[in-house]
C-alpha cells in the first residue's frame, strides 16, 4: 500500500510540474509568428536607429545574435520574461521618459505591445539566419504593422 501511495504522489508531482511548464504559453495567448508579426514590427519601428549604421545605445537588432546580445544597458530580450526585457519595458514608458521607445510622439499601439510581450513570453523565437532590414534599405515601400 505504501508503494502505491508513493507512486501516486510521484505521478501527481510530475503532472503538476508538467502543467507549470505549460502555464507561460497558455497565459501569453496564441503563438506569435515572428516572420509575419514581429519581424515587420521590429524593422519598421526599431531598426531606423538600432542597426549597423546607427547603433543607438549600442544596440543593433538586425540579427538574432546581435539583438540577444543587447546594447549598453545589457540584454534587451530575456526569452520567457517580458517584464525583465528592456525591449518590452521601454514600450510601456510614457514619452516624458527619455528612454521611452519608439522615440516618436505616437507610442506603439497596445496590440503591438501585447504582441511583443507574448512573443518574449513564448521564448522570443527568432528563426536562425533571419536578418532584419532597416527601413533605409527597403527597396520598395512596405506597410507598417
Q: What is the pLDDT of residues 30-53, one digit of tens each?
A: 999 999 999 999 999 999 999 999
pTM: 0.76
3-state secondary structure 40-67: HHHHHHCCCCEECCEEHHHCCCCEHHHH
Q: Rounded to whole angstroms, how far apart are CA atoms 31 and 119?
A: 8
Q: Rounded to whole angstroms, how far apart are CA atoms 101 and 118?
A: 18
Q: Give the per-residue pLDDT at 10.
A: 42
Which residue ranges in the chain fall short of pLDDT 50? 4-8, 10-14, 18-25, 143
What grid cell was written down for 27? 497565459
What grid cell was written down for 93? 514608458
Amino acid at each position: 500500500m505504501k508503494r502505491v501511495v508513493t507512486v501516486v504522489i510521484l505521478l501527481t508531482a510530475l503532472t503538476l510540474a508538467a502543467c507549470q511548464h505549460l502555464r507561460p504559453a497558455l497565459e501569453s495567448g496564441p503563438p506569435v509568428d515572428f516572420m509575419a508579426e514581429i519581424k515587420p514590427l521590429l524593422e519598421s519601428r526599431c531598426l531606423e536607429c538600432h542597426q549597423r549604421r546607427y547603433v543607438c545605445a549600442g544596440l543593433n537588432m538586425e540579427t538574432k545574435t546581435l539583438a540577444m546580445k543587447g546594447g549598453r544597458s545589457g540584454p534587451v530580450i530575456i526569452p520567457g520574461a517580458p517584464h525583465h526585457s528592456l525591449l518590452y519595458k521601454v514600450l510601456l514608458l510614457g514619452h516624458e521618459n527619455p528612454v521611452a521607445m519608439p522615440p516618436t510622439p505616437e507610442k506603439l499601439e497596445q496590440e503591438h505591445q501585447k504582441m511583443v510581450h507574448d512573443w518574449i513570453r513564448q521564448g522570443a523565437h527568432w528563426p536562425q539566419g533571419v536578418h532584419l532590414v532597416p527601413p533605409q534599405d527597403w527597396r520598395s515601400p512596405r506597410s507598417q504593422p
